Amino acid sequence: MRIDTAKVIVCSPGRNFVTLKLVTEDGITGVGDATLNGRELAVATYLTDHIVPLLIGRDARRIEDMWHYLYKGVYWRKGAVTMTAIAAVDMALWDIAGKAANMPVYRLFGGASRDSVMVYSHANGETIEQTVEAVAQHQKLGYRAIRAQCATPGQKDAYGVPKGGGRYEPAERGLPKETTWATEPYLQFTPLLFDRLRREFGPDLHLLHDVHHRLRPIEAARLGASLEPFHLFWMEDPVPAELQEGFRLIRQHTTTPIAVGEVFDTIYDSYRLIQEQLIDYLRASVVHAGGLTPLRKMAHLAELYHVRTGCHGATDLSPVTMAAALHFGLSVHNFGIQEHMPHTETTDKVFPHAYSFADGAMHPGERVGLGVDIDETLAASYPYQRAYLPVARLDDGTVHSW
């Protein structure tokens, strides 16, 4: 089962996606997501110029070997561009393996560990009232777990809250938008938001919150402690995790569960966090952490330390990643939750898929392989459009984590 052709498809049905499509000599196709928000073309070039020539003629069944060939073979280890490109190959090979075995991929992973995969959605508002309303709307749609973000009064910008309401979309067309950030008002306001949400929705709804890497460890410790009465499902990315030791300080001060890892690209970003039990949920994604092969290994390590999975699932991860994440989440024993930001109708049309949502949970479906495809003709009618994630500055102009 040799790889015959490999094609890199860049499209922008509302936002940019990079997709790798492999075809074997016996005509089996496999798709992989290679989208890296704001740096899409770097991955597309990496694949086209440096990886595609290595794939042609290689045995599509040797998934583990291929992963090590691409990871060790590059010599220059890690890095988001490299790991995203490797992930695309890995996803496509698992897709092919499922089709060749006539099984959905989750069955190759040992079968379902649960009936479906609980997902959480995003509710946001410019005021507490709007956020309450958004949470209520998502609850009506069936979600049992909801992430709440709200603008801090008196502050110009907030992470996850679009101006004028509507859907939140991380990247914007054109050059990067500059936003401002102030820590102290945020730390004072956020407990008020969750106090209100708990009073409105009672104790059972799972409430989540994304700090988006904006605090220092002692500030995150303070936020976690102040949120304890509202028993969040998790506090996400409280600090930038380059400093894994920083989580010790947070952990000493609060029982608010911690989720981290959407920007991680290998196990080396989190093994200390896992082994010292400094986090509760690992958010590494199939696409940015090198594919299903390494993500399953990370999950198995995490399982030993009572850390569960909570994969990143924003709209900048294509439906191919969503499908892969669902096969992964359905099968690994220590699944926790999966993020779900629904794609636009246009995106869903470009990427027809077998996965579905019902009662706050998703299922990858029973189609063989990953159960997702790309409509190349339709994709071609949405050419790439330059877009960037925003950057953040403090009010004195200092660059801050966005």
- Chain residues that interact with ligand EZ4, rule: CB under 6 A: 37, 170, 210, 212, 262, 312, 314, 316, 339, 389
- As measured in angstroms, the least distance from the Cβ of 188 to ligand EZ4 is 22
Among all chains, which residue has been given the structure tokens 């936002």? 15
Residue 33 contact among Co ion, ligand EZ4, none, beta carbon within 5 to 8 Å by kind: none
User: Based on CB atoms, which residue is closest to Co ion, 210 or 219?
Assistant: 210
Q: What secondary structure letter does DSSP report for 50?
A: I
- As measured in angstroms, the least distance from the Cβ of 260 to ligand EZ4 is 11
User: Based on CB atoms, which residue is closest to ligand EZ4, 24 or 338?
Assistant: 338
- Is residue 121 within 8 Å of 337, Cβ to Cβ? no
Q: Is the dihedral of CA 319, 321, 322, 323 positive or negative?
A: positive
The token duo for 153 is 């009064």
Distance CA 67, CA 289 (A): 12
User: Which run of H or E residues covers position 99?
Assistant: helix 80-101
210 sits near Co ion (criterion: CB under 5 A): yes
Residue 323 contact among Co ion, ligand EZ4, none, beta carbon within 5 to 8 Å by kind: none
Residue 265 contact among Co ion, ligand EZ4, none, beta carbon within 5 to 8 Å by kind: none
Distance CA 296, CA 173 (A): 34
Binding to Co ion (CB under 5 A) within 260-319 occurs at 262
- As measured in angstroms, the least distance from the Cβ of 330 to ligand EZ4 is 21
Catalytic annotation present for 300:
no
Q: Which stretch binds Co ion (CB under 5 A): 14-22, 208-216, 249-257, 367-375?
A: 208-216
- Is residue 388 within 8 Å of 171, Cβ to Cβ? yes
User: Based on CB atoms, which residue is closest to ligand EZ4, 311 or 354?
Assistant: 311
User: Which run of H or E residues covers position 87?
Assistant: helix 80-101
- As measured in angstroms, the least distance from the Cβ of 110 to ligand EZ4 is 28
User: Based on CB atoms, which residue is closest to ligand EZ4, 262 or 373?
Assistant: 262
- As measured in angstroms, the least distance from the Cβ of 52 to Co ion is 31
User: Based on CB atoms, which residue is closest to ligand EZ4, 32 or 170?
Assistant: 170
User: Based on CB atoms, which residue is closest to ligand EZ4, 295 or 314?
Assistant: 314
Name the residue number minimizing CB distance to ligand EZ4: 314
Q: What angle do CA 35, 290, 352 make, to 5 degrees?
A: 45
Where b means 16+ CB within 10 Å and e means fewer, 114-132 reads: eebbbbbbbbbbbebebbb
Residue 37 contact among Co ion, ligand EZ4, none, beta carbon within 5 to 8 Å by kind: ligand EZ4
Catalytic annotation present for 212:
yes
Residue 268, class by beta-carbon neighbours within 10 Å (0-12 exposed, 13-18 middle, 19+ buried)? exposed
Distance CA 394, CA 380 (A): 41
Q: Is the dihedral of CA 377, 382, 386, 389 positive or negative?
A: negative
Of 212, 288, 327, 363, the active-site residue reads 212
- As measured in angstroms, the least distance from the Cβ of 358 to Co ion is 25
Q: Which stretch binds Co ion (CB under 5 A): 21-29, 204-212, 241-249, 265-273?
A: 204-212
- As measured in angstroms, the least distance from the Cβ of 240 to ligand EZ4 is 13
- Is residue 166 within 8 Å of 377, Cβ to Cβ? no
Residue 316 contact among Co ion, ligand EZ4, none, beta carbon within 5 to 8 Å by kind: ligand EZ4
Of 71, 106, 143, 159, the active-site residue reads 159
Where b means 16+ CB within 10 Å and e means fewer, 59-84 reads: ebeebeebbebbbeebeeeeebbbbb
- As measured in angstroms, the least distance from the Cβ of 283 to ligand EZ4 is 7
- Is residue 343 within 8 Å of 316, Cβ to Cβ? no
The token duo for 10 is 């860049």
User: Based on CB atoms, which residue is closest to ligand EZ4, 122 or 196?
Assistant: 122
Distance CA 372, CA 387 (A): 25
Which amino acid, one-letter code, is at 355? Y
User: Based on CB atoms, which residue is closest to Co ion, 170 or 217?
Assistant: 170
Neighbouring C-beta atoms of residue 339, cutoff 10 Å: 25
Residue 42 contact among ligand EZ4, Co ion, none, beta carbon within 5 to 8 Å by kind: none
Give the catalytic positions in this structure: 159, 212
- List interacting residues with Co ion (CB under 5 A): 210, 262
